[in-house]
Amino acid sequence: MVSLRKVSKSYVRGRQSVAVLHDVDLDIPDGDFVALMGPSGSGKTTLLNLIGGLDSPTAGSVEVAGAHLERLNSGQLAQWRAANVGFIFQFYNLLPMLSARSNVELPLLLTALSAREREQRAMIALSLVGLADRANHRPAELSGGQEQRVAIARAVVSDPRLLVCDEPTGDLDRQTADDILGLLQRLNREHGKTIIMVTHDPKAAQFASRQVHLDKGVLTDAPVV
C-alpha cells in the first residue's frame, strides 16, 4: 500500500532551510495498522502529510496505492486524495455550519452519486460510528468524542483504502479515546482499511498492529526514551 524510498523533506523558513525528514525508507502493506510515534518535531506529521498527498517530498519517491505522488500536480493530487485517502485530525476539523450528515456527505460531493445516494451513504457511515441518531446535529451540539466519530464517518464514507490519522485521540479523555481507537481497530480488522496513525500516546499505539518510530527525521528501530 505504502512504499517510501529515500524520502527527504525540508522547509524554507525565512532564509533558513530546515530539514525535517532524511532518507526515509518505509513499507506498509495493505491492511496494516501502523502507529507512527516519536517526540515533538521528529517529523511524524510531515511524514503523514507526504503519505496522505497533502505535501510533496523534497527528494525521494512516495508510492501510495499504486500512485507515485511526487509526480502528480496539485489537481491530480486532489483527485487522488478524494479517491484513496480518508483523513482524521486531532481537532476533528468539521465544518461548524453543517449538520453531522452534511459534514459526512462532503467528500461525496466530488463523486457522480445522486443526492439521494449521497444521503444514504452518509447515513450508513454515521450508523457505522454509532451516530445515526445525531445526523441533524451541528458540531457545536456534539461532544468531542461524537465529533471525532463524525470525522471518522466522513473519512470512510467514500470507502478509501487508506486512513491517515493525526493524533486522533489527542483531545479526548481516556475512555473516549479508547472508544475511538476501538472503532479504528474495527475499521482495520473488519473492513480491511490500512491505517496510519500519528500518536504520542503509548496506550493508543497499542491498538495498532505495529509501531514505527521517528527521531529527528530518521526512522529508528526502538522507541526513543
Partner 1 sequence: MTLGTLLLAGLFRRRGRTLLTLASIVAAFALFGLLDAVRIVFNAGADNAGLNRLIVTSRLSLIQPLPLSQLPRIQAIEGVDAVAHANWFGGVYQDRRNFFPNLAVSPAEWLAVHPEIRLTPATREKFLNERTAALAGVDLVDRFNWQTGQKIPLEGTIFPNKAGTNTWTFDLVGAMRGDGDTRSNFDGQLLFRYDYFDEGRLRDHGTVGWYVVRVHDPARSNAIAQQIDALFKNSDAETKTQSEKEFNLAFVKQFGDVGMIVSAIMAAVFFTVLLLTANTLSQAMRERIPELAVLKTLGFSNGTVCGLVLGESVLLLLLGGLGGLVAATLLLPALNGKLGAQLPPLSVTPGSWALGLAIMLGIGLLVGLPPALRAMRLRIVDALADR
Size of the site for partner 1 (CB under 8 A): 30
Give 81 or 149: the residue with its C-beta nearer to partner 1: 81
Exposure on the CB side of residue 213, measured as CA atoms within 13 A: 10
Give 79 or 206: the residue with its C-beta nearer to partner 1: 79
Q: In this structure, what C-alpha cell is assigned to residue 214?
A: 521517528
From 107, 139, 145, 168, residue interacting with partner 1 (rule: CB under 8 A): 107
Q: Who contacts 65 (Cβ-Cβ below 8 Å, separation ≥6)?
A: 1, 80, 84, 161, 162
The CB-of-93 to partner 1 minimum distance in angstroms stands at 5
How far is the C-alpha of 105 from the C-alpha of 191, rounded, in Å? 20
From 44, 100, 105, 188, residue interacting with partner 1 (rule: CB under 8 A): 105
The amino acid present at 70, given as its one-letter code, is E
How far is the C-alpha of 179 from the C-alpha of 76, rounded, in Å? 35
From 154, 183, 204, 212, residue interacting with partner 1 (rule: CB under 8 A): 154
The CB-of-221 to partner 1 minimum distance in angstroms stands at 28
Stretch 67-96: interaction string toward partner 1, x if CB under 8 A: -------xx--xx-xxx---x-x---x-xx
Outline where the chain has alpha helix (H): 44-51, 74-84, 100-105, 115-128, 144-156, 174-191, 202-205
Question: Cα torsion for 172, 175, 179, 182, to the nearest 10°?
Answer: 110
How far is the C-alpha of 124 from the C-alpha of 103, rounded, in Å? 13
Residues 8-47 that bind partner 1 (CB under 8 A): 45
Only one residue has cell 500512485, namely: 67
Give 27 or 159: the residue with its C-beta nearer to partner 1: 159
- The piece of 33-41, 101-109, 190-198, 217-225 that touches partner 1 (CB under 8 A) is 101-109
- Residues forming contacts to partner 1 in the complex (CB under 8 A) are 45, 49, 52, 54-55, 74-75, 78-79, 81-83, 87, 89, 93, 95-98, 101-102, 105-107, 109-110, 115, 118-119, 154
